[in-house]
């Protein structure tokens, strides 16, 4: 799953929920490595413990933890299995359904954004619905362009009452009402641009599918 770090939804409600529940979320400290890795090994798996050790080797540490009543109840790492990859992450069974996983997810994604990444990859997605609801499907107020079929035609989909179309300056300056525009033929240059975008997407998907095969 590919996540747009430059368009993340507001994370404050997730953080506020943890604060109200008395849960502290922060970056793990180097002296805590043995406690965090030991808890992950006991609660989840040896593989996740190994990946977390890699996260502790970074500076700053690319692992966040959630603490309640002086006990670890959740963790999340990034740049562990691969560069720019989110995970592993987990929440203690008794502490689930409390918003801990979502807050840890935001903490990692925002940290990756601050490092300059435009996108993040969630590899080996398990609870896909959780990630989709958390970060993958948010409503954008800006209009967007949807390509139809073989990219020879496109339509403008309005997300708000804003009359400016950021997807096509020529259309925005034409003086026509955007709501009346349903579709328009692409120019030759636009077709080439669209084709290039699809080739890049195909290459990215091929890489993501190849990674599990190389690891097996």
Confidence of residue 114 (pLDDT cuts 50, 70, 90): very high
Selection from 75, 108, 98, 89 nearest residue 22 by Cα: 98
What is the three-class DSSP state of 119? strand
Largest CA distance in the chain: 64
Give per-residue pLDDT as tens, 50-67.
Answer: 999 999 999 999 999 999
Of the candidate ranges 75-84, 96-105, 113-122, 161-170, the one whose mean pLDDT is the lowest = 161-170
Of residues 105 and 172, the one with the higher pLDDT is 105
Q: Which pLDDT belongs to residue 152?
A: 36
C-alpha radius of gyration, the chain, whole number: 21
What is the C-alpha to C-alpha distance for residues 135 and 2, in angstroms, rounded to an integer? 10
Instruction: Specify whether the CB–CB gap between 185 and 151 falls below 8 A.
Output: no
Percent of the chain at pLDDT > 70 equals 57
List the domains of the chain with CATH numbers.
2-136 (3.40.630.30), 144-215 (no CATH)
């Amino acid at each position: 799953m590919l996540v747009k770090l430059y368009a993340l939804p507001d994370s404050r409600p997730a953080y506020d929920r943890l604060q109200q529940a008395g849960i502290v979320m922060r970056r793990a400290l180097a002296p805590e490595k043995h406690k965090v890795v030991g808890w992950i090994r006991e609660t989840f798996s040896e593989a996740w413990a190994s990946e977390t050790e890699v996260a502790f080797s970074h500076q700053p540490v690319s692992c966040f933890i959630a603490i309640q009543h002086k006990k670890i109840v959740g963790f999340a790492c990034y740049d562990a299995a691969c560069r720019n990859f989110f995970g592993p992450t987990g929440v203690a069974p008794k502490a689930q359904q409390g918003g801990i996983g979502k807050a840890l997810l935001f903490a990692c994604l925002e940290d990756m954004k601050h490092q300059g990444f435009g996108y993040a990859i969630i590899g080996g997605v398990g609870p896909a619905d959780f990630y989709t609801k958390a970060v993958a499907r948010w409503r954008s107020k800006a209009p967007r362009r949807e390509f139809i079929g073989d990219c020879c035609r496109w339509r403008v989909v309005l997300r708000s009452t804003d009359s400016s179309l950021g997807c096509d300056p020529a259309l925005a300056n034409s003086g026509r009402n955007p709501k009346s525009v349903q579709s328009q033929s692409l120019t030759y240059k636009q077709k080439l641009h669209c084709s290039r975008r699809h080739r890049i997407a195909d290459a990215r998907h091929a890489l993501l599918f190849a990674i599990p095969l190389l690891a097996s």
